[in-house]
Amino acid sequence: MTYIRIRKHYLHLPYIILGVLEFAILFFSFYVLEKIQGLLNLVPDDHVQYSPVVALIYAFILSCGSLAMGVYLALMREGFLAMFFRTLVAYCFLGALALTILAEIWPVFYVGGSNLFWVVMLSTGFTLAIRHFFSKLVNSEQLTRRIVVVGTGASAKQLQSDYEKEKATLGVKVIGFIGAADREVSASKCIDKPNDWLAFCVENNISEIVVAQEERRKSDGYVFPLEELIRCKMGGVDVINAVSFYEREFNQVKLSLLNPSWIIFADGFSVSKSREIIKRLFDIFVSIVLGLILMPFVLLAALLVFFETGRPILYSQVRVGLHGKTFKIYKIRSMRQDAEKGGKAVWASANDSRITKVGAFIRNTRLDEIPQIYNVIKGDMSFVGPRPERPEFVEELSEKIPFYSHRHAVKPGLMGWAQLNYPYGASVEDAKGKLEYDLYYSKNHSFMMDFLIMIQTVEVVLLGKGVH
């Protein structure tokens, strides 16, 4: 097994191990620097003794910086060079800036200007080296889980397509598809049905069988191998349906494969009173702190909007929240005053001509969203959750997309799992793609997952992802 489940959220084990190793490297970087300074007899004027508390905070902040800049996915998807530049931003900009600010607030965390520079350089070199080794190891046969897929229809073809796009980050290798070779999956990807399924799995080191077959009775001369799969399961080979495979590997609930019984019998979708109280207290605390920090930027954005296009500076829209209850959302206006003539709701689009020059800037920096902190304090929204949609669009999408209304089972948020994983879109098809991630969040949400989403949203803001 190359994955673990922490608080219902699936995480790939190799990345967890890499994160732990990097945290240890960051923690001991101060100790290594001190030893090097001692060996070379180089003691700077602002020399500070090694402190485990300072080192712990240092390791935590730089680890968060790595998550915020998406260095791990960049390593597997974009290559070493992309990861290198993201690491520089994470360590030399985000990490160093956060540590400097922290030292101004609590002088006990001051490590000295030259010390901070050299320890960051040392940490960067060590972590780049271990990531290079990791990228070679994670793609090796020893860490790759070998799977076969039962089915060659539309569901199997969808799985094949998604696998080909993301196989660099999954840590799995699809050996082949078992079923009628003249269906959706190309014959080159299909393999013959084994005479002895368990023996086939043992000989080919198959660790899992994924069932992606729509019709599980006799169809097109092909009989669903129920007895063979039971034997494989009892023989130590995991058997999983395609919906659960998508949930674990792609962190989404695939709508094209979803049926009501899976929602009813699957674990998750739980409601905890203690979880709600903790999340509410966290929302209020973060809202107050973030509101105070961002207030000058909000005032500046408001002035820019006023000087460019006049009043109103703020505008409100009705959105659908928890359990379908409507509420007013507040934003700094980024479009012309006549953006929706006649009051008819209109999807935002790429290069939307209604967006002003100042509006484009505050959208890219997400400053237009800051007034929604009021909605969070009021309790209509949370910091993390599915983005609230307008009632007009909800009505349309509920008619066209199955299970759409179930995204309202949790409180909407300023940032969400769909916003991290799905590019901006303004169509029914895009709403369907985002719903697959919203349902995953609704099923598996936890405080840890909320924290990861908040950290990773930094990359979205800094790089201006998903902005129209």
- Between 16 and 391, where is the model more confident? 391
Assigned domain for 259 exists: no
Residues 352 and 244 in one domain: no
Domain span at residue 172 reads: 144-250
pLDDT of 468 over the 60 cut: no
Mean pLDDT computed over 212-238 = 77
Find the mean pLDDT for residues 420-446.
86
List the end-to-end C-alpha distance of the chain, in Å, as a whole number.
40
Residue 257 lies in a domain: no
For the cut 70, the answer to whether the pLDDT of residue 112 exceeds it is no
pLDDT-based confidence at residue 25 (cuts at 50, 70, 90): very high
Domain shared by 244 and 303, yes or no = no
Burial group, residue 435, by CB count within 10 angstroms (0-12, 13-18, 19+): buried
β pairing state of 206-211 and 238-241:
parallel
Residue 153 lies in a domain: yes
Report the C-alpha gap between 132 and 126 in whole angstroms.
10
Q: Is the CB of residue 75 less than 8 Å from the CB of residue 83? A: yes
Q: How does the average pLDDT of the chain come out, rounded?
A: 83
| For residue 245, pLDDT beyond 70 | yes
Decide if 384 contacts 460 (C-beta within 8 A): no
Asked which of 8-17, 144-153, 194-203 is least confident by mean pLDDT, the reply is 8-17
Q: Count CB atoms within 10 A of the CB of residue 178.
A: 25
For residues 385 and 454, membership in a common domain is answered with yes
Report the alpha-carbon distance of residue 3 to residue 6 in Å, rounded: 10
- Least trusted range by pLDDT, from 121-125, 219-223, 452-456: 219-223
42 and 101 together in one domain: yes
* C-beta separation of 354 from 315 below 8 A: no
In this predicted structure, the answer to whether residue 377 has a pLDDT above a threshold of 90 is yes
Q: What is the pLDDT of residue 434?
A: 92
Res 265: pLDDT: 82
Examine the domain organization and report whether 290 and 313 are in the same domain: yes
Dist. CA 276–CA 282, nearest whole Å: 10
Residue 28 to residues 15, 22, 52, 99, 106, Cα–Cα distance (Å): 20, 10, 9, 17, 22
Within a domain: residue 416? yes
What sign does the dihedral 268-274-280-284 (CA atoms) show? negative
Judge whether 244 lies within some domain: yes
Residue that is written with structure tokens 């669009």 in the block: 393
DSSP per-residue codes, 29-67 = HHHHHHHHHHHTT---TT-----HHHHHHHHHHHHHHHH
Same domain, 302 and 228: no
Report the share of the chain in percent with pLDDT over 70: 86
Following CA atoms 212, 215, 217, 222 in sequence, which dihedral angle do they give, to the nearest 10 degrees?
A: -70
**Of 372 and 221, which is predicted with more confidence?**
372
Percentage, residues of the chain above pLDDT 90 = 26
Residue 178 clears pLDDT 60, i.e. is over it: yes
Judgement on whether residues 244 and 355 belong to the same structural domain of the protein? no
Residue 146, both tokens:
């070998």
**262-301 tens-digit pLDDT:** 888 887 777 778 888 989 999 999 999 888 888 898 899 8
Least confident of 114-118, 173-177, 408-412: 114-118
Q: Tell me which residue of 333, 323, 297, 320 sits closest to 375, measured CA to CA.
A: 320
Q: Which residues contact 221 (CB under 8 A, 6 or more apart)?
A: 180
110 shares a domain with 26? yes
Query: Is residue 255 one of the residues assigned to a domain?
Result: no
CA–CA distance, 160 with 215 (Å, rounded to integer): 18
Averaged pLDDT for residues 387-404:
90
Q: What's the 3-state SS for 145-195?
A: EEEEEECCCHHHHHHHHHHHHHHHHHCEEEEEEECCCCCCCCHHHEECCCC
pLDDT of residue 373: 92
Pick the last residue of a domain from 138, 163, 182. Answer: 138
Pick the range with the lowest mean pLDDT from 78-92, 239-253, 344-358.
Answer: 344-358
pLDDT in tens, 271-282: 778 888 989 999
Q: What is the mean pLDDT of residues 11-37?
A: 84
Residue 258 domain-assigned (yes or no): no
User: What SS3 state is found at 254?
Assistant: coil
Shared-domain flag, residues 440 and 402: yes
Q: Determine the average pLDDT of the residues in 135-163.
A: 81
Which pLDDT belongs to residue 141? 57
Tokens standing for 282? Answer: 């966290």
Q: What is the pLDDT of residue 267?
A: 79
CB distance 387 to 375 below 8 Å: no
CATH number at residue 235: 3.40.50.20
Q: 266 lies in a domain? A: no
pLDDT tens column, 41-62: 665 555 555 678 888 888 999 9
- Are residues 407 and 439 in contact, defined by beta-carbon separation less than 8 angstroms? yes
Of the ranges 93-102, 213-222, 258-267, 387-396, which is most confident?
Answer: 387-396
Domain count for the chain: 3
**What is the model's pLDDT at position 101?**
85
Domain's final residue, options 83, 117, 138: 138
Do 298 and 235 fall within a single domain?
no
Q: How far apart are CA 261 and CA 77, in angstroms?
A: 35
The answer to whether residues 305 and 420 belong to one domain is: yes
Instruction: Note whether 49 and 149 are same-domain residues.
Output: no
Structure token pair of residue 47: 């020399």
Residue ending a domain, among 87, 111, 138, is 138
Q: Between the ranges 75-84, 92-101, 183-192, 199-208, where is the mean pLDDT highest?
A: 199-208
Cα–Cα distance, 422 to 466 (Å, whole number): 8
Crossing angle for the helix pair 96-105 and 52-68, nearest 10 degrees? 140
pLDDT at 366 (0 to 100):
82
Confidence at residue 19, expressed as pLDDT on a 0 to 100 scale? 87
